[in-house]
Amino acid sequence: MVVLVPDNFLDLDTKLARLKAAPQARYEDYKAFGTILRYLPDPIDFTRWCEAAVACHPTSEATYLGIADALAHAGMGCRARYLGHTRLAIALLERALTVLAPSERRGQIHSNLCFLYNEISRPDRAEHHGRLAKGHDNHLYHLWLSESLFAQNRFDPDPLCGIEMGVFRQESMQEMATEVATAWDAAPPPPTDDFTLLVSVDPVYFRKFALAQAINLHKLGSKVGLHYHIVNPDETSQALITVMRQRLPGLRLDFSFTRQPDLGTSSNRVYYSCARLLVARALMERENTNIVIADADVLFRTPPETLLAQTAGHDLATIHYLGEPMCNRYNASFFTIRRTLLGTYFLRVMEKFLYSTFDRGMIWMIDQLALYFCEQRVKKVTRGELRTLFWPEAVVAIHHYPLSDLWEAQPDAPIWSGATSAKWRDTPYTRLQNSLLREAGFNPDSL
């Protein structure tokens, strides 16, 4: 990933002077300073500037938490970063716990420490701080706590963790394996090289993203099936389906629908992202097809058949991001499950994991965590028989952060993902999307 840094971005002297001149520490200012420190490659420089910033307001919670909060989440999207910075951030937060009086922000300190200790492979310490983060209003600490439990093979139901780990106990895994194997042996499916792209959407994403995706595959002449699972369709959904069938002749289009109570904006988004995973096994078995899980905002630069052909001889295929937390280690924007016994078993485990976790609550990124947890656990209980293909990162280009230019740097990537807020701005991705819509006779501004 190419990261462009403005010429004045690292003017630390000026920024440090502003911290020192401020009458009191502001969390936002120190977090901004911590963000800059992430770009320093020399740990000696890093430590020197960090200590200078702390010395400006040494008794303020905002000082420690602001810097460390930036560092604690630096692993997200930063591939295999320098762990010396992680250890420095841990030391800074541990110091804050000893010099500062407890306050309402203590939960964030423990949450960040849970994240960081996982990063340096100390799940025991991560679990300790994850438990102390109980009650923190940022529920992402449940992701870090579950990661620490998974790394320790701790699969007993845990009332403190918002993610249900009991699904992965040996007896539960065996029960699901027996269920899947019994059905398979009763009616063994014939081998298939058919693929179906499965996408779950709400009516808004159906109009604004799935439509362009379908046009994209039609223009490329792809023979891959396309199945949209629409959650809470509205009056525009059926009308658009009719128009799509008329304007995209030859494209293998299919649809299914489900109704879901309004859970609130955040929880609704979690459900929309996971709904495809809850129906994937049924679709696979009914149509005897290999399943391609994709986000609605994925666009293809080349026909997907080339990538999908590479999955022959495997059960799963995804992208593995080194250095990421477990909830971001595998790419859930585009991955494949083949119609094999172990592929079917994987989907069964994922279903149960998601439904069990939903009983506890909706947590963002649970679909990505499910992909990693279930792949790893199925591989473990089958003693490595699950065969996973890992595509290189360059297969999917995604505009990670404001300073990233990945779409521009990888114009020939087979897949462009719009999985960030950049998909709402004028970018190479949105220009491609709008051109597809216009070519098919749609006005992007009226969808």
In the chain, the percentage of residues whose pLDDT exceeds 70 is: 92
Domain(s) labelled CATH 3.90.550 in the chain stretch across 172-390
Q: What backbone torsions phi and psi does residue 18 show, to the nearest 5 degrees? A: -70, -40
pLDDT digits (tens, 9 = 90+) for 208-254: 999 999 999 999 999 999 999 999 999 999 999 999 999 999 999 99
CATH of domain 12-166: 1.25.40.10
State the pLDDT at residue 284: 98
Segment 74-87 shows an average pLDDT of 68
User: What is the token pair recorded at 60?
Assistant: 């303020």
State the pLDDT at residue 402: 45
**If we measure between CA atoms, which residue out of 345, 340, 392, 335 comes closest to residue 367?**
335
Q: For domain 172-390, say whether CATH 1.20.1260 is its number.
A: no
Residues 6 or more apart whose CB falls under 8 angstroms from that of 83 comprise: 119, 120
Average pLDDT score, the chain: 90
Minimum mean pLDDT range among 9-13, 57-61, 136-140, 388-392:
9-13
Rounded CA-CA distance 346/437 in Å is 36
pLDDT digits (tens, 9 = 90+) for 381-414: 999 999 999 999 889 887 654 444 556 666 678 9
Q: Does 12 or 171 have the greater pLDDT score? A: 171
pLDDT digits (tens, 9 = 90+) for 378-388: 999 999 999 99
User: Mapped to the 3 state alphabet, what secondary structure does the chain carry?
Assistant: CCECCCCCCCCHHHHHHHHHHCCCCCHHHHHHHHHHHCCCCCHHHHHHHHHHHHHHCCCCHHHHHHHHHHHHCCCCCCCCCCHHHHHHHHHHHHHHHHHCCCCCCHHHHHHHHHHHHHHCCCHHHHHHHHHHCCCCCCCCHHHHHHHHHHHCCCCCCCCCCCCCCHHHCHHHHHHHHHHHHHHHHHCCCCCCCCEEEEEEECHHHHHHHHHHHHHHHHHHCCCCEEEEEEECCCHHHHHHHHHHHHHCCCCCEEEEEECCCCCCHHHHHHHHHHHHHHHHHHHHHHHCCEEEEECCCEEECCCCHHHHHCCCCCCEEEEECCCCCHHHCECCCEEEECCCHHHHHHHHHHHHHHHHHHCCCCCCCHHHHHHHHHHHHHHHHCCCCCCEEEECHHHEEECCCCCECHHHHCCCCCEEECCCHHHHCCCHHHHHHHHHHHHCCCCHHHC
Cα-based torsion angle of the residue sequence 154, 156, 159, 160 in order, rounded to the nearest 10 degrees:
0
Segment 294-322 shows an average pLDDT of 95
**Local confidence band at 40 (pLDDT 50, 70, 90 cut-offs):** confident
CA distances from 4 to 10, 171, 423 (A): 12, 51, 19
Segment 179-204 shows an average pLDDT of 97
pLDDT digits (tens, 9 = 90+) for 338-361: 999 999 999 999 999 999 999 999
Domain(s) labelled CATH 1.25.40.10 in the chain stretch across 12-166
**Local confidence band at 79 (pLDDT 50, 70, 90 cut-offs):** low
Segment 45-68 shows an average pLDDT of 89
Minimum mean pLDDT range among 131-140, 178-187, 325-334:
131-140
Angle between the N-to-C axes of helices 83-99 and 61-72, in degrees from 0 to 180, rounded to the nearest 10: 150
State the pLDDT at residue 3: 42
Half-sphere exposure of 221 (CA within 13 A, CB side): 1
pLDDT digits (tens, 9 = 90+) for 257-278: 999 999 999 899 999 999 999 9
State the pLDDT at residue 77: 58
pTM: 0.91
Minimum mean pLDDT range among 141-145, 184-188, 291-295, 425-429:
425-429
